[in-house]
Amino acid sequence: MNTYYPIYVQLREQPCVVIGGGKIAEGKVEGLLAAEAQVTVIAPELTHHLRKLAEEKQIAYFARTYQPGDLTGAFMVICATDRADINHQVWQEASANRQLVNVVDDTPRCNFIAASILRKGDLTIAISTSGKAPALAVRLKERLQREIGPEYERFLELAGALREPLAQHVPDFETRKALWYELVDSEILDALARGEEALAREIISQVVGFDFEPA
């Protein structure tokens, strides 16, 4: 049984290489660009969208098949081809380089797997089935997408504005921790779901014990 350690990786300005230029590769590139990675794509052909990204210089592009040495300097490698020989070579090179590598739909040739991601502003939920049933992860994501509304995104915006003044007013960590739980367990999310912003700010002020006015 493969056991994975779930983490969120900071990819901003990190060099990432994607081998392959089809629709699957396109989805992987979009995810990497959303994380502000520096993306290089190596493939004989590209989808229309990937070609547009290359023309706009959002990605670097080499119009050829993978060659040994192409992974030098990469932080993360994703291989999305339908050629078993290339997939194997990419896995071998990335493993030798001790790089993060994912050969799509080939779990034995992955030292990390990509979760199904739900984003609501600063809220990020990653769902994984350890590579056994990605379709289930997608369905769970769709369910959560329906259940988690924009009030969660707004709550995190308010929480971000609250952190510094709360630390100033309440220097004791354990006390602050208890207040955060009290706030999360309050009616604030219901108030935000109803669009009652003033009530939400009032709830925060009551919980933390001082007037809260976000900038």
Find, among 71, 52, 55, 59, the residue nearest to 28 by Cα. Answer: 59
Computed over every residue of the chain, the mean pLDDT equals 94
Domain boundaries, the chain: 15-114, 115-148, 150-208
Confidence tier at 2 by pLDDT (50, 70, 90): low
The CATH classification number of 15-114 equals: 3.40.50.720
Q: Write the CB contacts of 21 (distance below 8 Å, at least 6 apart in sequence).
A: 41, 43, 44, 45, 46, 47, 50
Arithmetic mean of pLDDT, 193-199: 96
What pLDDT is stored for residue 115 in this prediction?
83
Can you give the C-alpha Rg of the chain in angstroms?
A: 22
Name the residue with higher pLDDT: 4 or 151. 151
Query: Which run of H or of E encompasses 182?
Result: helix 173-184
Structure tokens at 169: 């007013």
What pLDDT is stored for residue 1 in this prediction?
57
Residues 110-120: tens digit of each pLDDT: 999 888 888 88
Confidence tier at 14 by pLDDT (50, 70, 90): very high
CB atoms < 10 A from the CB of 210, how many?
A: 11
Sheet holding 15-19, edge to edge: 60-62, 38-42, 15-19, 76-79, 100-103
Q: What is the b/e burial string over 183-199, where b = at least 16 CB atoms within 10 angstroms of the residue's CB? A: beeeebbebbbeeeeee
Residue 215 has pLDDT above 80, yes or no: no
Q: Spell out the long-range contacts of 162-167 with Cβ–Cβ below 8 A and sequence spacing 24 or more.
A: 162/204, 162/208, 162/212, 162/214, 165/210, 165/212, 166/208
Residues 69-109: tens digit of each pLDDT: 999 999 999 999 999 999 999 999 999 999 999 999 888 89
- Identical fold at 15-114 and 115-148? no
What is the CATH architecture assignment of 115-148?
2-Layer Sandwich (3.30)
Residues 26-57: tens digit of each pLDDT: 999 999 999 999 999 999 999 999 999 999 99
Residues 6, 203: Cα–Cα separation, whole Å: 34
What pLDDT is stored for residue 7 in this prediction?
85
Whether 66 and 19 have beta carbons less than 8 Å apart is answered as yes
Q: Write the CB contacts of 42 (distance below 8 Å, at least 6 apart in sequence).
A: 17, 18, 19, 20, 61, 62, 64, 65, 66, 70
